[in-house]
Amino acid sequence: MAELPREIRGVMVPVTEGRVLLPNATVAEVISYTTPEPIAGAPAWLLGRLTWRGWRLPLVSLPILTGRLTEENRNNARVAVLKALGGNAGMPFIALLVQGFPRLTTITQELLIQTSDDEPHAPGVRVEVLVRDDRAIIPDLDSIESMVMQATAA
**pLDDT score recorded for residue 62:** 95
132 or 118, greater pLDDT: 132
Half-sphere exposure of 70 (CA within 13 A, CB side): 0
- Which value, in Å, is the radius of gyration of the alpha carbons in the chain? 15
- Name the nearest CA neighbour of 34 among 12, 59, 55: 59
CA max distance for the chain: 45
pLDDT in tens, 46-88: 999 999 999 999 999 999 999 999 998 888 899 999 999 878 8
Segment 2-10 shows an average pLDDT of 65
With bands split at pLDDT 50, 70 and 90, how would you rate the model's confidence at 6? low
Q: List CB contacts of 89: < 8 A, sequence separation 6 or more.
A: none
**pLDDT score recorded for residue 76:** 86
In terms of C-beta density within 10 A (0-12 exposed, 13-18 middle, 19 or more buried), how is residue 95 classed?
buried
- Name the nearest CA neighbour of 50 among 87, 26, 78: 78
With bands split at pLDDT 50, 70 and 90, how would you rate the model's confidence at 9? confident
With bands split at pLDDT 50, 70 and 90, how would you rate the model's confidence at 34? very high
47 or 10, greater pLDDT: 47
How far apart CA 149 and CA 75 sit, in angstroms, is 27
**pLDDT score recorded for residue 73:** 84
Number of Cβ atoms within 10 Å of the Cβ of 141: 20
pTM reported for the whole predicted model: 0.88
List helix spans (H) across the chain: 62-65, 141-153
Mean pLDDT of the chain: 88
